[in-house]
Amino acid sequence: MDALALEATGSKKTANGAAVAPVPSQPPAKRKPAKKAKKAVVFFEVEILDAKTKDKLCFLDKVEPNATIGEIKSMFHKNHPQWYPARQSIRLDPKGKSLKDEDVLQHLPVGTTATFYFRDLGSQISWVTVFLTEYTGPLVIYLMFYFRVPFIYAPKYDFTTSKHWVVHLACMCHSFHYMKRLLETLFVHRFSHGTMPLRNIFKNCTYYWGFAAWMAYYINHPLYTPPIYGEQQIRLALILFLFCQIGNFSIHIALRNLRPPGSKTRKIPYPTKNPFTWIFLLVSCPNYTYELGSWLGFTLMTQCLPVAFFTLVGFIQMTVWAKGKHRSYLKEFRDYPPLRSPILPFIL
């Protein structure tokens, strides 16, 4: 038994009796982990039709599902160079609303073969250029009437000055207002949309420039008469004007701080430590509220019918804008404060 055990554990012998060293046992080979199968990317086919004629304008093959509308506009622009992205309106329905540039293709209610409709927005111009043009005009036009340049009034009044101090005060307030707007356009405002249709600049300039000339003509007229209640009315109006100008500027700063540079994110505006922003508790668009207050103060200061009419027209337009923005807030934010009104607390 011992000999057999020794023979079993000892060196193995070959057939001719030679000893063979035992082969060391090798560890089992490690198996490489199986590679995870990559998910197949389902590309989209995008068809762009003319919203009016329904003619096919462009067909884009193998569009990635995470492509944005802005990227699709750039692809469309390569096929149609005359329609740069800023003048394109891409829609899901011919009469529907324009899709946002940041909308993602795979998140839209379309299949892998998506059909969009295109509308030409016309030649575009930057908002900064529009505002600078709109606000420079009233500033220059008003000063022309104030200094009574020739061919405006009778020749004997050329380059004369008014005898009423309220006329000089009104010129300073009017100039201050539009200088403030110009500086805010350059250094404060952040625009979610970079451009607007070129045709709008003519409409907007007609409105601002025309009213500025109408108001300036009567306020600086040689026969102008000051307000009925004299200095008391003028000083009260000046306080209202300056208060609302500061408030309007404070709101613009608060709105600017809500949006980081280069971002289009929207947040609910809330009051800050600045007391002029506390009106956010009751109003969705207090910048329009303060703007209205400024022109009411200017109306009281000058007691001029064209100024009152300009204030009324401006109030109507700002109310339309405020209501639209208020509806947008309610639709976008479920927790939007319910006590807020669009432009006038508890009223409108």
Write the CA distances from 54 to 48, 49, 61, 75, 118, integer angstroms. 9, 5, 19, 19, 9
- 283-319 burial string, b = 16+ CB within 10 Å, else e? bbbbbbbbbbbbbbbbbbbbbbebbbebbeebbeebb
pLDDT at 24: 52
Tokens matching residue 27: 């560890």
**Which domains, and CATH codes, for the chain?**
44-122 (3.10.20.90), 126-332 (no CATH)
In eight-state DSSP terms, residue 277 is: G
Q: Output the six-digit token pair for 290.
A: 């303060």
Contacts of 229 (CB under 8 A, 6+ apart): none
With CA atoms as reference, report the closest residue to 115 among 44, 53, 64, 62: 44
What is the pLDDT at residue 22? 52
Q: Two tokens at 149?
A: 């340049």
Q: What is the mean pLDDT of each run of 10 residues along the chain (348 residues)?
A: 44 45 55 60 86 89 87 90 89 87 86 89 88 95 96 92 94 97 92 80 94 97 93 96 97 90 80 95 96 97 96 97 94 92 93
Q: What is the DSSP track for 43-95?
A: -EEEEEEETTT--EEEEEEEE-TT-BHHHHHHHHHHH-TTS-GGGEEEESSTT
pTM of the model: 0.79
Q: Which stretches of the chain are DSSP H helices?
A: 2-9, 69-79, 127-146, 165-187, 199-219, 230-258, 286-302, 305-332
Looking at residue 6, its pLDDT comes to 40
Q: 187-221, pLDDT tens digit by residue?
A: 998 877 778 888 889 999 999 999 999 999 999 99
Inter-residue contact 126 to 200 (CB < 8 Å): no
Burial classification of residue 75, based on how many CB atoms lie within 10 Å of its CB (0-12 exposed, 13-18 middle, 19 or more buried):
middle
The answer to whether the CB of 44 falls within 8 A of the CB of 65 is yes
